[in-house]
Chains A and B, each alone.
Chain A
Amino acid sequence: MTPRPSGWALRAFAAFLLLLSRGARADPPPSVALAGGLGYAFPAGGLERGSQLSDITLGLVDISVDGAYRLHQLWSAGAALHYGASIPKLCASGSDCISSIGRDVRVGALGRWHPGRWRSLEPDVDLEFGYEWLATKLVDNDAVSRRGARGFAASLAAHGQFALWRHVSIGPVLAVSGGIFSRASLDAPGVATARNTDGSLVHLWTYVGFRTCASW
């Protein structure tokens, strides 16, 4: 027997079509958007059992680029790359602190929701899924201890884009990125190991910054 769609499903589908038709009646939106962001990400959560992300970094100075193609008035799809310079928690001298800067790299595919436009404000919300590589280190004179962790990550970001010119907008970003590191490594004097992490703990980066977007 062929299952019949429920009343709720039919109503939801009808509402979705209505939403699409409303979007379709508006002016054609730009089809491509490229953006770059700069911000700071605060660490929280667990790296693994008994280890906090904030144990090893004060946070990230984060640079990001993303590109998205407008699939519809309301939706875009694209990809993003985030590179964060990890500020070390421990270091003794200025030169050691500079040398101890680590990195957090995240790449992902994103879906973007464009809820509408209010005067010069055109906000959007990104949901991104990807993979993250964290590398921190401590340099003490000529000695180096490197720690690494990697795993899947997801993020939710809200952009408040204000139009500057016809194709350029700028605005604040508030985002939270979460993930679970599944592998960890250590490269230190006399030891080099790679292993599965002890437990599956969620870590978070809470990100605030600015983003400039060009679209056409």
Chain B
Amino acid sequence: MFDTLEGVVKTWLGLIGLLVACGKTPVGTSVELPDGSPGIGFDDLRYSSTLHRVLVPSGRSGRLNLIDPDTLAVTSITGFSSTPDYSGGHDDGATSVDEASGMLYVTDRTTRSLETVDPVAQQIVGSVALASGPDYVRFVEATNELWVTEPGADQIEILAIGSDGSVTASGTVVVDNGPESLVIDEARGRAYAHRWQKSTVAIDLKTRAIVAEWANGCASSRGIALDSAQGWLFSGCSEGTTAVLDIANDGRILSTLERGSAIDVIGYSPTLGHLYLAGSACSCSIIAGVNNQGQLSFLEREAAPSSTHCATADDIGHAWVCDPDGGKILRVDDHQPGTL
């Protein structure tokens, strides 16, 4: 009898061991960043097709790193706030970037400032103080403005870019219980940002007024992405739901996908119709596809660092996933066929 019980126990323990052993090595090509070893509080990741570089504001390391997606060579622009210790969050130094008229604009959370970076000279060429702690910066081509989300003040601060390249404050948009994430829809003259729970607001770029508010499928709203050509807005929820909102139909939710957990910054490839998600609670990166009806489908899941929460896409078939505890970025090859 005890032989039988022993066998059963051994089988269970073996099964548990097998499952534990499935805690997998993150998938992707690791890109080491300068001074990354203590860890880096990444947040916003971007890709510049004009520079052909992945733009990586690198938190406490005091750098904006530019990664060549082909060679993985890193160009490091210094001069942002730095601190030797990594606190585990993303509250230090450079955390968001956008590109405008050949320049890069980078938020520095420590100094609460917006830095202007010349990517050719590889140096900071200007700085302007912000009204509150910044989260995301995005360029609005139609008005030649920079919109900077400041969730601590429930507002988006708007800064005008002068003809001489100077940056000056020019107003605010109040987004109560927000704003979280920001994406600009030049084709429709709108900006979209989440409230922290439940909904996404559409803001007119010229009048700076909230003109619509849509349920976004999220209890905890996080990432945002846009397919301007299709008229779809993607909301990424911390709890793992991703939703497609139909901009032309008052934000009607076309489909949802429930995958992963602790999803934050999401990436999107409009050429492939692929969304890239990364979540710390699942230690996973996920590729989801959207078809021409706005229907989401699961494509692939890979192991990712346990601290990951951000992802972006380039234009040559890669997803880029952050590894804050490792102070690294992972390039994940997307071999899935396009879904649009």
Contacts and interface: CB of A to CB of B under 8 A. Distances in A.
Interface of A: 42, 44-45, 49-52, 54-56, 89-90, 92, 115-116, 118, 123, 125, 138-145, 147, 156, 158, 174, 176, 184, 186, 188-191, 193, 198, 204, 206
Given A188-B219, A206-B12, A145 B260 contact: no
B80 interface: no
A139 B219 contact: yes
Contacts of A45: 19
A188 B241 contact: yes
Interface stretch (B60-68, B192-200, B226-234, B321-329): B192-200
Contacts of A198: 298
B16 interface: yes
A190 B12 contact: no
Contacts of B16: 42, 44, 206
A162 to B, nearest CB: 14
Contacts of A144: 219
Given A90-B239, A186-B241, A190-B253, A51 B259 contact: yes
Given A56-B261, A144-B219, A189-B219, A50 B298 contact: yes
B71 interface: no
Contact of A176 (B15, B218, B251): B15
B216 A189 contact: yes
B1 interface: yes
A115 B251 CA distance: 62
A110 to B, nearest CB: 16
Q: Pick from B196, B215, B239, B251 the residue with the most CB of A within 10 Å.
A: B239
Interface stretch (B2-10, B44-52, B123-131): B2-10
Interface in B156-182: none
Interface in B4-35: 4-5, 8-9, 12, 15-16, 19
A198 B300 CA distance: 13
A42 B12 CA distance: 12
A115 to B, nearest CB: 5
B199 A184 contact: no
B301 to A, nearest CB: 4
Contacts of A44: 16, 19
Given A52-B282, A144-B219, A191-B217, A123 B1 contact: yes
A176 B5 contact: no
B215 A89 contact: no
A189 B258 CA distance: 14
B262 interface: yes
Interface string B268-312: 000000000001011010100000000000101100000000000
Nearest to B297: A198
B241 A145 contact: yes
Contacts of A51: 240, 258-260, 298
A184 B259 CA distance: 12
Contact of B197 (A42, A50, A141): A141
17 contacts: A49-B298, A50-B300, A55-B279, A140-B196, A140-B219, A141-B197, A143-B218, A143-B220, A145-B217, A145-B218, A147-B239, A147-B258, A158-B9, A174-B9, A188-B219, A190-B214, A191-B256
A143 B261 CA distance: 17
B261 A158 contact: no
A143 B198 contact: yes
B238 interface: yes
Q: Pick from B243, B258, B279, B301 the residue with the most CB of A within 10 Å.
A: B258
A204 to B, nearest CB: 8
Given A44-B16, A44-B19, A188-B219, 9 more contacts: A49-B298, A50-B286, A89-B261, A116-B1, A143-B197, A145-B217, A176-B15, A190-B253, A198-B298
